[in-house]
Amino acid sequence: METQVRSDVQDKLTPLPSLRLSVVMPAYNEKDTIEEIIKRVKAVPFDKELIIVDDGSTDGTRDILAKVDGKDGIRVILHEKNAGKGAALATGFSAATGDVVLIQDADLEYDPDDYSQLLRPIEEGKADVVFGSRFLGGTHRCHLFWHYVGNKLLTFVSNAFTNLNLTDMETCYKAFHIDVARKIKITSNRFGVEPELTAKVAKMKCRVYEVPISYYGRDYAHGKKIGLKDAFEAMWCIFKYNVLQ
């Protein structure tokens, strides 16, 4: 059980001054951005592997991924049918071999240049998990006000259950010490995975840090997938993973 792990692990997680990074990237119909985000991840100066989980793409994304699979530390795993972001992350987490697991979306909303900031608290032995917050002062695009309101509401409700004082629970950028990542069994298939991960690291009593990140949000005309239905699912998942499990 995740709830029993932290008391045993707290004194064992050590600084990782020369860590190896596992970047887990779920992808679904991202042919317009996948090549560029791979290029940006490759350019980050860390010893790393990039695990791309294609979640049943039908737009040509798989043709692009076939050309990079097995090259430059890139591994591509295919889901035959679309199962959702949570399912893709579960596959990627199980395949990770690095010291730290970091989630990277396949669009261009999040900047891999922020990796060093995300990883520093883990490298220094201060944190077990690091969230990258879009609301702590980093460069960000100003748009989608009601999406912002929904995000803040979900974060507030999540914090009330977890007793964490996060500013951005719904962020993509989450980095986990491998000892923590290996003990998390992801069961949410879709976007409920964000409150699920948050609830589980809180129950494990992990040392959770937040750092500011940049955010280049896209709108629905350019492929943004999360919507009102996902917000209701996230609210249910906050209750489910904090109270029922």
**Residue ranges per domain, the chain?**
19-244
How many angstroms separate the CA atoms of 188 and 30, rounded?
A: 21
As assigned by CATH, the class of the 19-244 domain is alpha beta
Q: What single DSSP character describes residue 211? A: E
* Contacts for 192 with CB less than 8 Å, ≥ 6 apart: 86, 230, 233, 234, 236, 237, 240
User: Using CB atoms within 10 A of its CB, is residue 195 exposed (0-12), middle (13-18) or buried (19+)?
Assistant: buried
**Res 218: pLDDT:** 59
Residue 226 has pLDDT above 70, yes or no: no
Strand 100-103 relative to strand 174-177, pairing: antiparallel
Confidence of residue 18 (pLDDT cuts 50, 70, 90): confident
Average pLDDT over residues 98-114: 96
Average pLDDT over residues 47-59: 97
Average pLDDT over residues 165-178: 97
How many angstroms separate the CA atoms of 82 and 29, rounded?
A: 10
**Res 148: pLDDT:** 82
Q: What single DSSP character describes residue 60? A: S
How many angstroms separate the CA atoms of 90 and 101, rounded?
A: 12
**Res 81: pLDDT:** 96
Confidence of residue 232 (pLDDT cuts 50, 70, 90): confident
